Amino acid sequence: DADVTQTPRNRITKTGKRIMLECSQTKGHDRMYWYRQDPGLGLRLIYYSFDVKDINKGEISDGYSVSRQAQAKFSLSLESAIPNQTALYFCATSDWGGTNTGELFFGEGSRLTVL
Amino acid sequence: GNSVTQMEGPVTLSEEAFLTINCTYTATGYPSLFWYVQYPGEGLQLLLKATKADDKGSNKGFEATYRKETTSFHLEKGSVQVSDSAVYFCALSVGNAGNMLTFGGGTRLMVKP
């Protein structure tokens, strides 16, 4: 089984619908992230959390919200989906070992299409 | 602010050809530099990293040298294989930002037999 699991892997929805993407991890990491990938733009950070009681906005948080239900779970919600939120979404985790290793561990991605 | 610029793809090579993917950066402070690889249908995974000037990161035959004077971290491989076909991302993180990475736009590599 994958260490970082995202559900659903693919979702097609309509404008205005509420969507939740879920992420769970078995790596025991404190830090979790949601990124969005668009062609030619690389990955952009939406939200991140350094522990269960910590939520932080990334560079493109507008239109999104998150919930850190437990150390192992981090959910991303689109309250009212719009077509320009069509993208590939990645959850990632990392540890903090006292040095800046920069290694993130990614899930396999959730492809969202908003019609 | 911090930013990473990569050469646009796709880069198409024949098997056993030499690969260079250019990456330059701007950063406030002294960044650590990374290359991530994304194989088809998968998430990104760390390929190599360098944490200070003149360091060389290497893995799976790929290499990149942290050049502070040219603010570059170009990825190279002497002889590519079909299995190297993927999207490659250059990234940086700065100081006490921990694992907060800034990614480049990605470069798709296609290797033909």
CA angle B86/B92/B98 to nearest 5° reads 120
- pLDDT digit string, tens, across residues A37-82: 998 788 999 999 988 989 999 989 999 999 998 999 999 999 999 9
Q: Are the beta carbons of A103 and B91 separated by less than 8 Å?
A: no
Q: How far is A110 from chain B (nearest CA, A)?
A: 10
The β-bridge partners of A43 are A37
A98 pLDDT tier (thresholds 50, 70, 90): very low
- In this complex, which of A43, A48, A103 lies closest to B46 when CB atoms are compared? A103
pLDDT at B96 over 90: no
Among A25-29, B8-12, B18-22, the range with the most confident prediction by mean pLDDT is: B18-22
Average model confidence (pLDDT) across chain A: 91
Q: Are the beta carbons of A102 and B89 separated by less than 8 Å?
A: no
Dist. CA B26–CA B39, nearest whole Å: 27
- A52 vs A95, residue with greater confidence: A52
> Per the structure block, which two tokens stand in for A46?
């939406």
Quick check: helix, strand or coil at residue B95? helix
pLDDT at B5 over 50: yes
pLDDT at B99 over 70: no
